[in-house]
Amino acid sequence: IFMFLSIIGFHRLMKRCKDETYKVDAGKKKIVYLACLCMMYAFLLGYAVVAGVVSMEVFQPVYLVVALIFFFGAIFVAAMVYALWIMNDSLSKKNIELMELLVTSIEMKDLYTKGHSRHVCDIVVLFYDYLPSKLRARISPAKVRDAALLHDIGKIGIPDAILNKPGALDAKEWETMKLHPENGKFILAKTAFEEISDWVYYHHERVDGKGYYGVAAENIPIEARMICIADAFSALNTDRVYRKRFSCQRTIEILSEADGTQFDSELLMYFKKIPHEDFERVYEKHKQDCADIFTVL
């Protein structure tokens, strides 16, 4: 039982590490898998051998000693797998907290969109759960979550006067604002997050090719298309200084008007299947997060 649970736990842990880890040599991953699986199967083989010997011969005390060695060895392996889970949880939470710290420092510059990145992140996580299995298999939920949280990181390079301008931006200011996805790609490309930098870069692209940088639909990653939908939903479904939030129903109607032009039709179809109650739950969490984080302001 201990070995069976250890194998299941280890398999889940390796899958989680694969989903969340950036820039890891594939060869090192194979060595880790091979070493741990060999160790586990050695225990299982040992149990089988002991069981076979006991069934065919007269039981002797030495068999009990061997069985106890395997038993406590199995407990040790199970304990190590559990310890690795705890360590992985701790590191994962620390990474998320560091990303949120960075996002908070950026959003404190932008008076109009406090908490926006977290809201988009929560919507993308919700969105992933409603995708069909064929699409979920192509997407790392941890990495698309990270990309959604960091999608506006490039705004750190946009002047405060433009970010917080109360009126409409003029043509020159708008061109500067449109640089933030490119800035985000540049920042992330210098870190372990290089793998998701293109998703940040493309999050304002449209499937009709009329996005910020005019990227063709076939070149827009599916993760960037998801973030694009979630980003627009968040912008419409949250309060802004200049207007109140639109209802979920009205927000979906507005998004539907851009079906096949701004947004990917297939993804939008799945997005529209998310119950409004789930969107409201995410919004209430967003409001609480904003209240907790930005009270100082």
Residue-by-residue pLDDT tens, the chain, 297 positions = 777 777 788 778 877 777 777 766 655 667 767 767 776 676 777 777 777 766 766 667 777 777 777 778 778 878 888 888 888 888 778 788 778 777 877 777 776 667 889 999 999 999 999 999 999 999 999 999 999 999 999 998 888 888 888 778 899 999 999 999 999 999 998 888 899 999 999 999 999 999 999 999 999 999 999 999 999 999 999 887 777 889 999 999 999 999 999 999 999 999 999 999 999 999 998 877 666 655 544
Nearest to 232 by CA among 109, 116, 99: 116
DSSP codes, the chain = -HHHHHHHHHHHHHHHHHHH--S--HHHHHHHHHHHHHHHHHHHHHHHHHHHHHHHS---HHHHHHHHHHHHHHHHHHHHHHHHHHHHHHHHHHHHHHHHHHHHHHHTT-TT-TTHHHHHHHHHHHHHHTS-HHHHTTS-HHHHHHHHHTTTGGGGGS-HHHHT-SS---HHHHHHHTTHHHHHHHHHTTSGGGGGHHHHHTTT--TTS-SSS---GGGS-HHHHHHHHHHHHHHHHS-BTTBPPPPHHHHHHHHHTTBTTTB-HHHHHHHTTS-HHHHHHHHHHHHHHHHHHSTT-
The residues, ordered by sequence, that sit 6+ positions from 99 with a Cβ below 8 Å of its Cβ are 146, 149, 150
Residues with catalytic function: 155
Tell me, what's the pLDDT at 174? 92
Query: What is the 3-class SS of 225-248, one letter each residue?
Result: HHHHHHHHHHHHHCCECCECCCCH
How buried is residue 207: exposed, middle or buried, by Cβ count under 10 Å (0-12/13-18/19+)? buried
Tell me, what's the pLDDT at 215? 92
pTM over 0.75? The answer is yes
Tell me, what's the pLDDT at 281? 94
